[in-house]
Amino acid sequence: MISVIIIVKGDRRISNTLHSLADSALDHSAFETVVVDASPGPQDVKQSFPDVTWIRFCGHGQKVTIPEQRNVGVRASSGSVLAFIDADCKAEVDWLEQLTRPILLGEEYITAGSCVAVPSSYMVLREMTSSQYMDECATMNMAVSRKVFDSVGLFDEDFERVSDSEFCFRARKAGYRIRAVPQAVIYHDWGGARANIRRSYGSGAGRARLYRKHPDAILSRSFYHNRKNVYSIVYGAYALFLPISVIFPLYLLLPFCASVLFRRNPWKEVVNVVYGIGLVRGILHRGKPTG
């Protein structure tokens, strides 16, 4: 049995996610869908999908409950393989079959698919590594054998964001590989500028916490082969020296050189700078990062 776990908090786009799963090419008796909802509704969506197990999550008043919700889903599900997709994503008809096949065949324990931005976004056009194996992956498109959770534990609830990356760090330390499955495609709605800025700031703060928990990773050779770590170094360093822009105002324009070099939307650089600010704040402030 495969369990598809989705967490949500008042996002009506989950209806699109559930419709895409209903159209799955995989036999519906082969998987269950578990939704962990940190909001009262939407009731009409629940009624439209009577076969979905819908769990009401009651947190402790915190703004972000991502790892807590996912852990509730892991505990409540019955599958030997757990697949994760976000409530703002839609799956290709063969997504679940492609994503879980290497695990069901006994070849792998963790897999990750590819992400296409819909509508086209300055955040990312298509996200997928060209390597066969990855250093980390996001739970928007990820499958894990339950044996891995039994071995390394659940998502760390001290994290508000980046708990998926932290889980991957622990899994890789335990000897598990993360297999890239580019054929397992989801379509991700990244949302507007406000959502992306909030997400990037929280991700930066969470990344700082990740490095504090796993300082040995920074000294590893593979650390600098990971694009996310390189972004952290570049934009974290930029954010750290932002005060010098009071004396040298042209310093503010430095990130936009990347827009010219890589022909990227300038808003992408704004989001990256916000990520760097969150990272620096997370390093300087040792409490639980906000996001």
Tell whether the model's pLDDT for residue 270 goes beyond 70: yes
Q: Are 83 and 143 in contact (CB under 8 A)?
A: yes
Quote the strand ranges of the chain, DSSP E.
2-8, 31-37, 53-56, 81-85, 89-91, 110-117, 126-127, 133-134, 141-145, 178-188
Mean pLDDT of 271-283: 92
pLDDT reported for residue 160: 85
pLDDT tens digits, one per residue of 37-80: 988 767 888 889 999 999 988 866 666 689 999 999 999 999 99
**Domain ranges across the chain:** 2-188, 193-284
> What is the β-pairing status of strands 81-85 and 2-8?
parallel
Report angle CA 220, 110, 235 to the nearest 5 degrees: 45
Regarding pTM above 0.85, the answer is yes
Bigger pLDDT: 245 vs 59: 245
Q: Are 149 and 164 in contact (CB under 8 A)?
A: no
In this structure, which amino acid lies at residue 179? R
pLDDT tens digits, one per residue of 140-189: 999 999 999 999 999 999 888 899 999 999 999 999 999 999 999 999 98
Q: Is domain 2-188 in CATH 3.90.550.10, yes or no?
A: yes
